[in-house]
Structure 1
Amino acid sequence: MARYSIDISEEAGIRSLHFGSDWVQGAMRVRRPFDLELAYTREMMAGLLLRDAPWPKNALLVGLGAGSLAKFIHRNLPQTRSTVVEIDERVELAARLHFRLPDDPLRLNVVIADAVDYLLREERSFDLILLDGFDSSGRAGALDTAAFYTACRAHLTDTGLLSVNLLGRNRGFQASAARIAAAFDDRCCVFPSCDSGNVIAFAAVGEKVDVDPDTLKARAEALRLESGLNLLPTVARLAAAGAFSGGRLCF
């Protein structure tokens, strides 16, 4: 594995993680350390609108970064046990020292490993897999392959969802989205790009995602009141993009 520096910057109350470049690998508002500061991290949690609560019981996070997703789940979803697979032990150290990653191995377990190798030997299945792993140049490498997406599918439960951050693909996100669709028999949905330009894709196995706009809005409002996470703009962008074919979001 190529070695790069792990750098921390702070400006206007925002602390950021970098892998040897200006590329932001994670960020935290110092005064609200458990909020999801970056728009794409908020979007990655939109799976909470697609399944009935309480969900998920367990989650697999590929890529730790500044620990934003792991911290949000730990703080706001007490029924969820999370496993984070991170390839670089220095990232875990930075997340604990600078970004307030909780020390609670019963509910938040960090495994230092290559995610490809981890899924080959792991037997458990997960309700939610959050895929947000990039190198210092913003490349996903082996995490953006048909084989890896197929491995993710094999480790999802009957209500399982895969959530993928598609930013950083060298030739745009369309090729990555096509690989996800092929691995999941076209049971995927690419959300309209959020304010940061990131594109988040969701894929499902087992139980069909079949939800109407009013239900999405109601779930988004409940989530906003419970956790502060506001996904109402996401619902509005889905509607504007014509995602509700036949009046429902289905995949």
Structure 2
Amino acid sequence: MVVRAGGFVALQFDETGVQSCMLAHEPYALALGYTRTMVGFLLFQPNPRRISIVGLGGGSLAKYCYRYVPDAVITAVEINPDVLALRSLFQIPADDERFAVICADGAHYVDSSDHRPDVLLVDGFNAEGVPPQLCSTAFYTACRRQLPDNGLLVANLISSDSGFRRCVCSIRAVFDDAVVVVPAEDSPENVIVFAWKAPAASLPLDESLALARVLETMHPLNLRETAIRIEYGKRIDWEERTACPRT
């Protein structure tokens, strides 16, 4: 369902579950804090050439990347044709030489595509939470396989979701603990997981803050706050919280 109120246009699963939100007067802005945290991928990949997005919704991440990461080729995958039918309402750009929206199962797309993204954003939900096919060891293994050696996976999870522990444990197992779990901006339940192939891809805080200052001249975001959140995430004992079994 689409709700218009207070200058916002929101896509909701029901009366309480917000799937996506757009500022009516600034459609390319990232209205929800978790999306701003997800774009923290810039602190690891400042100039990605290819970005894949699983889960379109109202297109917040896709639109932001299209406008503010102009050298990237972007593919967004959405399983629900009813969501795709709202594309013009949410002012999602038309397909062109560097932007494409595909109606497909995200798990199947990742497993079969040759897109080879530098950054893979996973933000796929239904009314019950993260679908099982986007929260399995097989899915995350396919994600890792598709990424180049310096590639980055960024996944949006909900800490109250019954599958949260399983998702975090699966990502840790597949990415050999090269993982940071970060509380999202302005959202106590959203948790953003950054995972990469390179074992030392995360910068020290002082270097990350310096990079954030440079990036903020090109991006309308407080990336320094995101850098601090990522550093905080490194210090949280998520292994204890999720009780992931050791292999």
Select the residue among 10, 33, 38 that pairs with 2:32: 38
2:217 is matched with which residue? 225
Give the TM-score, by structure 1 length: 0.87
Unaligned runs of 5+ in 2: 237-247
How far is 1:224 from its partner?
A: 2.3
1:18 is matched with which residue? 12
Is the partner of 2:114 in helix, strand or coil?
Answer: coil
Give the distance between the partners of 1:238 and 1:207, measured in 2 at CA. Answer: 16
How far is 1:232 from its partner?
A: 1.8
C-alpha contact 2:78 2:106 (8 A) present in aligned 1: yes
Asked if residue 119 in structure 1 is aligned to residue 113 in structure 2, the reply is no
Q: How does 1:57-96 map to 2 (within 5 A)?
A: 57-94=49-86, 96=87
Give the distance between the partners of 1:119 and 1:32, measured in 2 at CA. Answer: 31
Give the distance between the partners of 2:55 and 2:93, measured in 1 at CA. Answer: 16
Give the distance between the partners of 1:207 and 1:106, measured in 2 at CA. Answer: 33
Unaligned runs of 5+ in 1: 1-6, 245-251
2:43 is matched with which residue? 49
Asked if residue 160 in structure 1 is aligned to residue 160 in structure 2, the reply is no
CA deviation vs aligned residue, 1:59-84 (integer Å, no higher than 9, x gap): 11000010000000000011101111
Asked if residue 145 in structure 1 is aligned to residue 136 in structure 2, the reply is yes
How far is 1:19 from its partner?
A: 2.7
C-alpha contact 1:173 1:199 (8 A) present in aligned 2: no
1:97 is matched with which residue? 88
Give the TM-score, by structure 2 length: 0.88
- Amino acid in the other structure paired with 1:41: T
Q: Number of aligned pairs? A: 235
- Amino acid in the other structure paired with 2:216: R
- More displaced, 76-85 or 208-217? 208-217
- More displaced, 232-241 or 118-127? 232-241
C-alpha contact 2:130 2:163 (8 A) present in aligned 1: no
Is the partner of 2:186 in helix, strand or coil?
Answer: coil
How far is 1:203 from its partner?
A: 0.6
- More displaced, 120-129 or 8-17? 120-129
Give the distance between the partners of 1:222 and 1:173, measured in 2 at CA. Answer: 34
C-alpha contact 1:41 1:69 (8 A) present in aligned 2: yes
C-alpha contact 1:139 1:168 (8 A) present in aligned 2: no
Is the partner of 1:105 in helix, strand or coil?
Answer: coil
Q: Percent identity?
A: 37
How far is 1:191 from its partner?
A: 1.3
